[in-house]
């Protein structure tokens, strides 16, 4: 695919930084790379990061929830661990499940004002498919 043919992220999504996706009673899970990146970004020991910021259930590591939002979310500044955030946070809202089912697209687009709602689902899906082809771990 030539540079000219490449899909630009802004064609389907531009984050308004509303913070909605950092709210709720659960968060994404951190894989091994996420854990290392967060530890490095925070400049703390693994034990301290785990104790202060993570909720560990068996082998599942998530971020703690405080007052109904991720412990790293701040009303004024947004994500306070931006560089060290889990890759699934960076991927949101362009989840691959959108490719499979329009209902997933509808649900996600209703909760995320950054999704381009001026194009059809079919057009959105095709652009997202191409974007995911271009980048293995798409970060928005």
Span of 2-10, 52-60, 77-85, 126-134 interacting with ligand SF4 by CB under 6 A = 77-85
Q: What angle do CA 20, 37, 130 make, to 5 degrees?
A: 60
Span of 39-47, 94-102, 112-120, 121-129 interacting with ligand SF4 by CB under 6 A = 112-120
Residue with smaller CB distance to ligand SF4, 2 or 105: 105
- CA distances (Å), 30 to each of 12, 101, 104, in order? 26, 25, 22
Span of 48-56, 67-75, 116-124, 130-138 interacting with ligand SF4 by CB under 6 A = 67-75
Contact between 124 and ligand SF4 by CB under 6 A: the answer reads no
**Distance of alpha carbon 33 from alpha carbon 47, whole angstroms:** 16
Containing 40, the helix (H) or strand (E) segment is: helix 32-42
Beta carbons of 16 and 114 less than 8 angstroms apart: yes
Containing 53, the helix (H) or strand (E) segment is: helix 46-53
With CB under 6 A as the contact rule, the residue among 30, 39, 61, 81 that binds ligand SF4 is 81
Contact between 39 and ligand SF4 by CB under 6 A: the answer reads no
Contact between 30 and ligand SF4 by CB under 6 A: the answer reads no
Residue of 86, 67, 78, 77 lying closest to 25 (CA atoms): 67
Site residues, ligand SF4 (CB under 6 A): 15-22, 27, 63, 70, 72-73, 79, 81, 85, 89, 92-93, 112-114
């Amino acid at each position: 695919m030539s540079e000219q043919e490449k899909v630009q992220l802004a064609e389907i999504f531009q984050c308004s930084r509303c913070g909605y996706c950092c709210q709720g009673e659960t968060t994404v899970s951190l894989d091994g790379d996420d854990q290392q990146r967060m530890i490095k970004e925070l400049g703390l020991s693994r034990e301290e990061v785990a104790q202060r910021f993570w909720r560990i259930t068996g082998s599942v590591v998530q971020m703690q929830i405080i007052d109904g939002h991720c412990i790293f979310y701040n009303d004024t500044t947004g994500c306070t661990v931006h560089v060290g955030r889990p890759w699934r946070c960076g991927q949101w809202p362009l989840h691959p499940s959108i490719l499979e089912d329009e209902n997933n697209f509808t649900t996600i687009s209703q909760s995320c004002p950054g999704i381009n709602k001026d194009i059809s689902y079919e057009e959105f899906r095709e652009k997202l498919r191409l974007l995911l082809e271009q980048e293995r771990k798409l970060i928005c």
